[in-house]
Amino acid sequence: MSVTSERIKSSRQQKKLTQQGLADIINSSRGSVAKIETDVFTPSYAMLTLIADALDTTVEYLQGKTDSPLKTPHNGSDDGDDKKHVDLADDELIMSFEGKELSEDYKQAIIAMLKTMREGKQ
Give residue-wise pLDDT tens across range 1-53.
899 999 999 999 999 999 999 999 999 999 999 999 999 999 888 999 999 99
Q: Does residue 53 share a domain with residue 89? A: no
Domain membership of residue 105 as a residue range? 84-122
Is the pTM for the entire model greater than 0.75?
A: no
- Cα(66)–Cα(64) distance, integer angstroms: 5
Domain count, the chain: 2
Q: Does residue 92 share a domain with residue 54? A: no
Q: Which amino acid is at 29?
A: S
Question: Are residues 88 and 49 in contact, defined by beta-carbon separation less than 8 angstroms?
Answer: yes
- Cα(43)–Cα(86) distance, integer angstroms: 20
Q: Which amino acid is at 58?
A: T
Give residue-wise pLDDT tens across range 53-112.
999 999 999 999 888 888 765 444 444 455 555 454 444 445 545 555 667 777 777 777
Contact partners, residue 19, CB within 8 Å, separation at least 6: 12, 30, 33, 34, 37
What pLDDT shows up at residue 91? 41
